[in-house]
Structures are given as C-alpha cells and as structure tokens.
Amino acid sequence: MKRLIYILLGLILPLAAIAQTGAVSANDILRQFLSKVDGNTLTSSFVLTVSEDAMTPISYSGKVQMRGPKFRLSMLGNEGAYDGKTYYLFSEETNELTLTTPTPEELLEANPILFARELQRLSTVRFGAGGKSTKYHIIELVPNNQDAGVQRFVIKIRKDSLLPEEVIVKEENKTTTLRFTDAAYEAEIPSFVITKPNAFINDLR
C-alpha cells in the first residue's frame, strides 16, 4: 500500500509542477493584448473621467481608433491623430489644423495603450483585485520607480475577446479612468492622417 502511494505521488507531483509552470501570467495576458492591438484596428467609443482631490469628477466622451502605435480620436469638437511620425490636431472651433512631431512623453499621455506598453518594461505586472473574475483579466502595473509620477496602472481586458473594458491611471492626487463602451477589433486599416483642405495649417514640425 505504501509503495502504491509513493508511485502515485511520483506521478502527481511532476504533473502539478507542469500545470504550475504552464499557468498564464499577467505579463503573458498583457503581451497577448498588445499583440492583438498591433495586428488589428481597435475601434471604440469611450468615456474619460478625471477625478482630482477635493474636486468634482469631470467626464468627456469621444471615439478612438488605434492600431499599434498609431491612433485617431475625436473629443470635445477636436480631432487628433498620429500616423507614426506626425501628430495632427484639428480644432473645429478655430478651423485650425496643427502638425507637430510629438515627444515620447506626449504620445504616452495621448494613448493609454502605448502607456501600458512602456510601463510593462518598468513595472511589476500582476493580477489586480478581482483578477479571478470569470469575465475579465484585471492587470495591474506598479512602476518600480515611484518617481515616475504614476502610482498604479490598471487595465481590464475581456477574456473572451481580449478587448479592453477599462483603464485606470492612479497618480498622487489624480485618478483618470477611460471606459470603452463598444470596443471591437476590425481588419480594415483606417487613415491616421487628418486632412482639412479649408483649414488654416499650423505646421510646427
């Protein structure tokens, strides 16, 4: 009998080790999500909410398309786009189209998915609170250097489609929440260049 137990343990323990080794980490899920955005066009409406200490939260709605580092968005009567080299900003109020070469910091502020990609290299990546949800992966990135300004970055990703549901960026006195409301992946590649023939062109490149 004792010999049988030893034989069974000899079979079970290696299998348990294999199962543990094969477990998908938060980093793996984040890499899969970023790869999905690299190879497909993510389109969605969104609601952006900014909450600061002792202030009433402010919300804005808009639409976004992104593929890899490129993106196009509209919000508050303005349109912005980045084609991998030039950032375009069109103001409907002034009928002005501004062209700039953005800094890496400006790009990270404009696109939270790019921000996640950059933070992945500089952070501890783990499953966040509620990470055992049957519907979502909840991935938390905590920068190893807290001088970076961001204390915590959380992204909620649907398990069935790898579509983003929500991004939360926590800073010392401010929390920014980006909620995707009808996200979908599309094969078509849109234009990430804004052209306005009748607008005043302000080329700052």
Where residue 4 falls among pLDDT bands split at 50, 70, 90?
very low
SS3 4: helix
Joined tokens for residue 8: 């069974």
Is 171 within 8 Å of 149 (Cβ atoms)?
Answer: yes
Name 66's Cβ contacts closer than 8 Å, sequence gap at least 6. Answer: 37, 41, 42, 72, 111, 113
Instruction: State the pLDDT at residue 109.
Output: 82
pTM (2 decimals)?
Answer: 0.82
CB 116 within 8 A of CB 34: yes
Query: Bridge-partner residues for 132, per DSSP?
Result: none
- 197: pLDDT strictly greater than 80: yes
pLDDT reported for residue 121? 87
Structural domains in the chain?
Answer: 25-203 (2.50.20.10)
Structure tokens at 125: 């990546």
CA 64 → CA 42, 76, 190, distances in Å? 8, 13, 11
Strand partners, 140: 126, 154
- The whole-number average pLDDT for the span 174-197 is 96
- Let me know: does 153 contact 140? Beta carbons within 8 Å: yes
DSSP letter, residue 205: -
Average pLDDT over residues 4-20: 39
Q: Which residue has the higher pLDDT, 104 or 66?
A: 66
Res 132: pLDDT: 67
Q: Is the pLDDT of residue 5 over 80?
A: no
Determine contact, residues 142/162, Cβ cutoff 8 Å. Answer: no
- 120-178 pLDDT, tens per residue? 988 999 999 876 688 999 999 999 887 667 889 999 999 999 999 999 999 888 999 99
At 20, is the pLDDT very low, low, confident or very high (cuts 50, 70, 90)? Answer: very low
Tens digit of each residue's pLDDT (9 = 90 or more) over 50-100: 999 878 899 999 999 999 999 999 999 899 999 999 999 999 999 999 999
Q: Is 187 exposed, middle or buried, given 0-12, 13-18 or 19+ CB atoms closer than 10 A?
A: exposed
Of the two residues 141 and 13, the one the predictor is more confident about is 141
Asked whether the predicted pLDDT for residue 3 surpasses 70, the reply is no
pLDDT over 80 (residue 17): no
Query: What are the tokens at 184?
Result: 């979908």
What's the Rg (C-alpha) of the chain? 21
Which whole number is the average pLDDT over 44-51? 96
> Please, are residues 31 and 46 in contact by the beta-carbon 8 Å criterion?
no
